[in-house]
Every structure is written in C-alpha cells, then in structure tokens.
A and B are shown apart, each in its own frame.
Chain A
Amino acid sequence: MINFSDPVLAAINTDDAEAMARLHDQLAVAAEVDRLLDVAYRTVDSPLGTLLLAATDQGLVRVAYDREDHDQVLQALCNQISPRILRAPRRLDQVARQFAEYFAGERRDFVLPLDFRLAHGFRRAVLGHLGLINYGHTETYAEVAAATGRARAVRAVGTACATNPLPVVVPCHRVLRSDGKLGGYIGGLEAKAALLSLESGGTIDRNILSR
C-alpha cells in the first residue's frame, strides 16, 4: 500500500528516531503532570541481571527479574492495574539509586513508598512480616508461618514468597527451609544465594547467573 520506492513517498515517510525519543520523554513528563501515568517503569542493571522496576503514584509496585520475562510482567501490570503504562524513569530515580546502593553493599534497608496492591489476604500478611526480617538475618518458612498466626500454613508462606511482587525490597530471600536448604526463589536459587552472600558481607559475582 505504501510505496517507498517512490521518492516523494519515501521523503514523506522518513522516520526520525531522534525526534521520537524526545517526544516519548516529553509525553512521559506530561502524562505525570496530568496524572495519567498509572504505571511508570524503567529497568536497571544489577549483578543479578536486568531488573524491571514499576511504580504507581502510590509507590513501587513491582520488581521483576529477567527470568520472569519483562514483556509479560508489563502485560500483567496492564491487565491488573491499568494500560496507562509508560517507560518513565523519573518516577523511579530514587528506587534505582537505592538498588545500586544495596547491590554495592552500601545500603541495608530500602526506604521507599511501597504499593502492595498486587498481594492480597494471607500473602499480603506474609509480605508484611518479611519486612521485619533484618538485613543479614534469615527465618524459616515455619517461623514466618507462626509469626503470621497460621503456624500450619508453611506451604502458603512458600507460595507468598514465590509470588512476592517486590523481591529484594521485600526480602523473601531471607526465608529458608527448616533443614537449612534454600527452598525456592522467584529470581532463581543462584540469585537467592548471591543475595544472602551479599548480606553476610560478601559481594556478588557478576557472572553468577550465567554459570
């Protein structure tokens, strides 16, 4: 239908990537001003791969490892929260900074507004308790179950950790099996081991996920 071999049409149909990048960024700013930016996101590089960070106007709502497939995560945010989603780094500047500090071993606690709307009921209660496990410490799934008032709901605690929408910030990596084994982790067991190593004073080998 569009004939690009015609010189006139080719001239009219010349793309302008530079202008598009500028207009996209202006749109993100204008959308924020007009309160139309329901979900802002960006990615950050980390020793555990590229992390997707997404925030509503309430706070950080989602952290996702590569293995979750960021396109699918964004589609899920679109379905569960709003399709008004833009790559808009500005809202996440502070979050990105704290992640960088955390992975550098310079930060023990994230001080951020969090939006827990993706977690409900018991899972939400479990996440609330996880926030009380200090940096460098661990608890067992059974201990977390007992702390949330449902001592026999050990498996449900595991599910709550596995579906934690805010890994790293809400430290589900600090929950282990009673026999001392790692259990599971949304970012993979290598990532879980790496975070625990970081928090016990080590550093994270950048190639840990490729081994």
Chain B
Amino acid sequence: MKRPFEEIVAEHGPTVLRVCRAVLARPDADDAWSETFLAALRAYPDLADNANIEAWLVTIAHRKAIDLLRAESRRAAPIAVAETRSAVGGWEPSDGDLWAALGSLPTKQRQAVAYHHVAGLPYAEVAALVGGSTDAARRAAHDGIRALRRRYLNSATVPPQKES
C-alpha cells in the first residue's frame, strides 16, 4: 500500500538533503533536493509498492546531482575549495571547513561517502550507482572518509598559523 507523498518527504527529505549536500560539497544544495523531490512526486504513483523508497530517492538525487555538477563545471571553475577559515581562532572546525574538505575529494569518493555513510546504502548498491565493482565502491568510501578525517579534523586540532 502506497503512503501519502507528504510522509515520504517527512521521512526521507532530511537524508536526501544531506546526500545532496555531501555529493555537491556545498550547503546550498537546494536545487538538487527540489529537482529530486519534484521528479519523485511525478513518478511516485507508478513506483512499485514494495520498492525501497530511500534507495529510489537516492538514485534520482544521484542523477540530479550529476546534472548540476556538469552544469557547474561547464559554467566556470571547479568547485571552489574555499579558504573560509579565519585568520584568528579556528580551533573548532567550521562548516566551511567541511565543505572545503568534501570539495577536495574526487567526485566518486564524495558519492561513495554520501550513498554509503549518509544514505546507508550497501556497497553493492553504491557500486550500481557510481559504476565499478563493490570493492571499488568500498575503497572509494574508505579513502573518502580517511581524507575527510585528515582535512576536516586537522583543521580542528591544529590552530591556523597566524599571519603577520
């Protein structure tokens, strides 16, 4: 039995927003989320009743995010790896550090991290989305998390050099 789409938005909307943000490496991933849920609303009546809704939504979000990434790379520079840390302070990692750290990862690692560690998809399903083997998906997620720990958490533990 299909549930009202409002319940789908309430239950899966936050996860899909986090996936979009992680894949696009920016907090303003609203376009990807909006396009995903509008497309999902359109297709929802035809979705099989026993479908895995979150996996279905992540698949749509994956395609929408790729479209946006392509459009962005056509438009201009690669995703900005912003220097957002202020010259003073900075003992705590800021959101800017997180997006910068994510933005420095190869797309495939960001996708693997988002689909496995945010959406909770098993590696086999991650591989089906991003291409390549299950092992490659596992490696990409693992390497992505390791790089994030290094780049994001180091910004927390090492105070920035004060420029004079």
Contact = CB atoms under 8 A, between A and B. Distances in A.
A12 to B, nearest CB: 5
A41 B18 CA distance: 27
B13 A2 contact: no
Given A8-B153, A87-B6, A24 B13 contact: yes
A74 B6 contact: yes
B149 interface: yes
Size category, A interface: 35 or more
B113 interface: yes
Nearest to B144: A8
A58 interface: no
B6 A85 contact: yes
A85 B7 CA distance: 9
Interface string B82-116: 00000000000101001000100000000001100
Contact of B38 (A13, A36, A83, A85): A36
B69 to A, nearest CB: 18
Interface stretch (B40-48, B54-62, B72-80, B129-137): B40-48
B93 A86 contact: no
Contact of A78 (B2, B41, B113): B2
A208 interface: no
Nearest to B116: A1
A78 B34 contact: no
Contacts of A34: 38, 42
A182 interface: no
Interface string B131-152: 0000000000000010011001
B24 interface: no
A26 interface: yes
Interface string A92-118: 000000000000000000000000000
A12 B30 contact: no
B35 to A, nearest CB: 9
A20 B15 CA distance: 10
Nearest to A11: B98
Interface residues of B, number: 38
Given A7-B153, A8-B153, A23-B17, A1 B120 contact: yes
B98 A84 contact: no
B9 interface: yes
Nearest to A38: B45
A9 interface: yes
A36 B41 contact: yes
A8 B145 contact: yes
A12 B118 contact: yes
A54 to B, nearest CB: 10
B22 interface: yes
Given A2-B118, A23-B13, A78-B3, A12 B22 contact: yes
B34 A27 contact: yes
Contacts of A77: 4
Contacts of B37: 23, 27
Interface in A156-173: none
Given A15-B18, A85-B6, A31 B38 contact: yes
